[in-house]
Amino acid sequence: MKNDKKNTEHTKSEKGSYMVFYVLSVVLLAYMVFSMVTSYQSFVQYCDNYAISPSDVWFTGFQSILAAAVPCLVYAATLYGIGYLIQHKN
């Protein structure tokens, strides 16, 4: 009987630990979308200020959006992987 109670407590502790990583990965993905939108808005405003067509310098806009998205995506994938490893450690 004591052993069952101990296993139940251990399982609750493990569930909380990997769920934190899953939640943090979702938060980072949401931040990635926000960051991409604000990066695009900044690029369009930059083009308006200098009277440049966004299609003329599309690669610069693509680079700025990519620079905003990739780090968040890498961190989110890393956190998800850590949570997955904790969840499936046995």
Q: How many domains does the chain have?
A: 1
> For residue range 61-71, what is the model confidence (pLDDT) as tens digits?
999 999 999 99
The label of the residue with tokens 């296993």 reads 7
This model's pTM is above 0.85: no
Q: How far apart are CA 85 and CA 43, in angstroms?
A: 39
What's residue 76's pLDDT? 97
Q: How far apart are CA 75 and CA 17, in angstroms?
A: 17
State whether the Cα torsion 51-56-58-63 is positive or negative. negative
What's residue 17's pLDDT? 87
Stretch 1-11: mean pLDDT: 55
What's residue 3's pLDDT? 56
> For residue range 7-54, what is the model confidence (pLDDT) as tens digits?
555 566 657 789 999 999 999 999 999 999 999 999 999 999 999 999
Q: How far apart are CA 79 and CA 23, in angstroms?
A: 9
Domain that holds residue 30: 2-87
The confidence band for 1, taking pLDDT boundaries of 50, 70 and 90, is low
The label of the residue with tokens 């992987």 reads 81
